[in-house]
Chain A
């Protein structure tokens, strides 16, 4: 399985942009990159996903390196409600046909008022 590497923790000031990095040097050509986050005392929730091009949605932006070996989740203006653990995830091996997510330990984002 392709693995991802993320920093254990990061801090950001409120209303400042946050760039959360993820390394996935063994990514295959057809792997999508997914990001989920887990707010305190809640289940994980989907944030964004992408394949090759940068992606934007109402929650965040995803910047994918040209060689696809790394990506960055961008929160444009961090709020206290963005304090969470952020997970960068690649897909299950295609031959299983399953829709499995392989979570690492993620990056714990602390937002400072």
Chain B
């Protein structure tokens, strides 16, 4: 089954303790991205990657890192989490954009993070 998986689905941590949220897709998609969702603010993009070893900042990259060493994986790293990073996180993937229109994106189930 074609899907985007995220782990963990739920995480409670404390300020300053490094954590990684994994994202994996089995559709051979070139493009992957991370969003965070907060009440009243909708979904905002954190980072995106157009292919292996190619990453770029989205709208709210501060406090986050990403890497893209393999096509299928795009982990989100919080080196020193803070309470304002408490949020719902979504990973997404899509084929390479080859024309003027956006390619359909496929989203993971989400990771709910609480930073105390």
Which residues from chain A sit less than 8 Å from chain B, CB to CB?
Answer: 30, 32, 34, 36, 41-46, 49, 51, 87, 89, 91-92, 94, 97-106
* 21 A-B pairs whose Cβ atoms sit less than 8 Å apart in the complex: A32-B100, A42-B109, A43-B92, A43-B107, A44-B107, A45-B107, A51-B101, A87-B42, A89-B102, A91-B100, A91-B101, A98-B31, A98-B97, A99-B31, A99-B33, A99-B48, A99-B102, A100-B33, A104-B42, A105-B41, A105-B42
Query: Are B108's CB and A98's CB within 8 A?
Result: no
**Cα distance A34–B92 when bound, in Å?**
16
Q: Which of B43, B101, B103 contacts A103 (CB 8 A)?
A: B43
Number of contact residues on B: which range applies? 20 to 34
Q: Which of A45, A91, A105 contacts B102 (CB 8 A)?
A: A91
Q: B84 near A: Cβ within 8 Å?
A: no
Which residues from chain B sit less than 8 Å from chain A, CB to CB?
Answer: 4, 31, 33, 35, 40-45, 48, 50, 56, 58, 90, 92, 94, 96-97, 100-110
Query: Are B107's CB and A49's CB within 8 A?
Result: no
Q: Which of A44, A46, A91 contacts B43 (CB 8 A)?
A: A44
Query: Are A43's CB and B50's CB within 8 A?
Result: no
Q: Which of B42, B90, B97 contacts A99 (CB 8 A)?
A: B97
A6 CB, min distance to chain B CBs, angstroms: 11
**Cα distance A94–B58 when bound, in Å?**
15
Residues of B within 8 A of A41 (CB): 110
Query: Are A100's CB and B90's CB within 8 A?
Result: no
**Cα distance A87–B109 when bound, in Å?**
17
**Cα distance A51–B41 when bound, in Å?**
27
Q: Which of B43, B48, B90, B104 contacts A98 (CB 8 A)?
A: B48
